[in-house]
């Protein structure tokens, strides 16, 4: 049986995942403005996927008895994005960051929410590999070393 502390931990992890999705959506706005035409559709698909995940997380947070945190007006980028090459690096970094928080949500949740979080982690890892060309052995975990 899940305790109130378990539900609180799950809610905290869901809020963290929502915050990461808000940041990813913002970041993909930057990516879309700098990415080459050849990869613009890929960026648009990722942007749409993160919007859908954001919406699902907002519903999950309400189901857990919480109020979804709103997006910030702007987010600090991890580095300057002056061109398409930097935009590709940013896209991979966004996916790594999203994957890390979904790993936490997998750990904190059970049942359908855990399956959804694992699916989101997998999707982020696949997108990161597509952007970067390679990936870590255990997506979502290696990012936690720092």
Residue 36 neighbours by CB distance under 10 Å: 12
State yes or no: pLDDT of 1 exceeds 70.
no
Q: Give the per-residue pLDDT at 3.
A: 58
Give the mean model confidence (pLDDT) for residues 104-117: 96
> Residue 136 class from Cβ within 10 Å (0-12 exposed, 13-18 middle, 19+ buried)?
middle
The proportion of the chain whose per-residue pLDDT surpasses 70, expressed as a percent, equals 86
The larger pLDDT score, comparing residue 49 to residue 8, is at 49
Res. 146: pLDDT tops 50? no
How many separate domains does the chain show?
A: 1
H/E run at residue 10: helix 4-34
- The yes-or-no verdict on residue 142 having pLDDT over 90 is no
CATH number of the domain bearing residue 78: 1.20.1260.10
Domain assignment of residue 59, given as a range: 4-145
Query: 60 and 114 in contact (C-beta within 8 Å)?
Result: no
The pTM score is 0.88
Query: 50 pLDDT exceeds 70?
Result: yes
Is the pLDDT at 134 greater than 70? The verdict is no
Question: pLDDT band at residue 100, thresholds of 50, 70 and 90?
Answer: very high
d(CA 131, CA 87): 10
Report the pLDDT averaged over residues 37-42. Answer: 95
């Amino acid at each position: 049986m899940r305790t109130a502390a378990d539900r609180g931990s799950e809610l905290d992890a869901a809020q963290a995942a929502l915050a990461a999705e808000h940041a990813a959506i913002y970041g993909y706005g930057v990516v879309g403005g700098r990415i080459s035409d050849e990869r613009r559709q890929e960026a648009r698909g990722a942007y749409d996927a993160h919007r859908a995940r954001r919406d699902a997380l907002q519903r999950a947070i309400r189901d857990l008895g919480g109020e979804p945190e709103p997006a910030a007006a702007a987010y600090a980028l991890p580095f300057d994005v002056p061109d398409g090459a930097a935009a590709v690096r940013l896209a991979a970094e966004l996916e790594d960051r999203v994957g890390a928080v979904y790993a936490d949500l997998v750990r904190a949740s059970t049942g359908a929410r855990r399956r959804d979080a694992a699916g989101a982690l997998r999707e982020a890892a696949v997108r990161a590999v597509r952007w970067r060309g390679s990936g870590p052995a255990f997506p979502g975990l290696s990012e936690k070393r720092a």
